[in-house]
Amino acid sequence: MLRLRAQVFNDIRQFFSARAVLEVETPLLSYSSITDPQLDFFTTDYCLPPLQHTLFLQTSPEFAMKRLLAAGSGSIYQICKAFRNGEAGRFHNPEFTLLEWYRVGFKLPQLMDEIAELLGVLFNGHRALNPTQRFSYQEIFRSYTGLNPLEFSYQDYCAYAQNNHKPEAVSICGYDHALWLDFIFSHNVQPQLGKNAVCMVYGYPACQSSLARINEYNSQITDRVEVFINGIELGNGYYELTDPKEQCRRFDEEIAIRQIRKRPASVKGKHLIAALEAGLPECSGIAIGLDRLLMLLANSASIDDVLNFPIQRA
């Protein structure tokens, strides 16, 4: 396993080096945090007597890397640790390894080509994959459930839950469209995706946009892509939002949701907003969970098998 990890890192570095994408390093500790209501961060105390500051461990290197992009770095990649509090399970460890990269000038389809090429290189010699599949969120959601993910119909969604032995979905999700999509997608769609193949799902509904740009032709969807193999979520990418006003608005919205749900308060990334104001070049980027990738390469059932010291033994 040690060798497999080293081999994968090496293959990634060769892949990007051949494409003149620069390897970078950014801080794991930051004065600001994400605002995403679905993520919990770790905090730590920075003591510099008489001063004391709260610092956050990054949940992904996205903000720092975007600051580099705005400063004119060109295309960059990074292999680093990321931390998400409270996430532990067969596919989650609170500390995990990410590969994140940004391609200046790429739109989503080009990024998707590159994802397929990289995964092809990494799986080569370990496991033969079936041809890569690409589906729009709407088409894949509809084909497995018969529901339209872009239009929220409370009746249809409830009826679907009842008919699929998931009546609890009604009380969990209520009238929250995004929550319904999370529920149904993760229970009834995702497990079917990418049978021994890379499966990319793009065009997420606008209510699940996060840091993606709204599609220029259809305002109901965003330029966001997710990558799956054997039903395992490997990565999430965007045609990146470059509008500082829109970004600021989404941050404020998420902070408000965090307050309502009484989640730990986050500190808005001032530097990121400043970077967007200075001008983030048109770019696309994605983060891939390398531990899960190793699970697939090694055919492991649990993330603990590919970590030297999972959290219980950290």
Partner 1 sequence: MASYSTNEFKAGLKVMLDNDPCAIIENEFVKPGKGQAFNRVKIRNLKTGRVIERTFKSGDSLEGADVVDVAMQYLYNDGQFRHFMVPDTFEQYQCDEKAVGEASNLWNDAPLSVSPANFVELAIVETDPGVRGDTSGGGGKPATLETGAVVRVPLFVQQGEVIKVDTRTGEYISRVKE
CB of 10 to partner 1, least distance (A): 26
Closest C-alpha to 246, from 283, 225, 264, 272: 272
CA dihedral 126, 291, 90, 312 (to 10 degrees): 130
Number of residues that bind partner 1 (CB under 8 A): 29
Told to check if 139 binds partner 1 by CB under 8 A, we report no
In 142-167, which positions are buried (b, 16+ CB within 10 angstroms) versus exposed (e)?
A: bebbebebbebeeeebeebbeeeebe
Residue 122 or residue 205: which is nearer to partner 1 going by CB? Answer: 205
Tell me how far CA of residue 135 lies from CA of 34, 51, 114, 200, 201, in angstroms.
Answer: 29, 52, 16, 6, 5
Report the DSSP beta bridge partners of residue 133: 199
| Site for partner 1 contains 93 (CB under 8 A) | no
β-strands 95-104, 130-136: how paired?
unpaired
Of 26, 125, 41, 116, the closest CA to residue 80 belongs to: 26
Residue placing its CB nearer to partner 1 in the complex, 78 or 236:
236
56 versus 96: smaller Cβ distance to partner 1: 96
Site string for partner 1, 230-249 (x = CB under 8 A): ---x--x-------------
Binding part of the chain for partner 1, among 113-121, 180-188, 246-254, 269-277 by CB under 8 A, reads 180-188
Tell me: does residue 250 bind partner 1 (CB under 8 A). Answer: no
Q: Does 186 bind partner 1 (CB under 8 A)?
A: yes
State how beta strands 43-48 and 283-289 pair.
unpaired
Check residue 267 for interaction with partner 1 (CB under 8 A). Answer: no
**87 makes contact with partner 1 (CB under 8 A):** yes
Q: Which residues contact partner 1 (rule: CB under 8 A)?
A: 36, 38, 86-92, 165-166, 168-169, 172, 178-179, 181-183, 185-187, 190, 208, 210, 226, 233, 236, 289
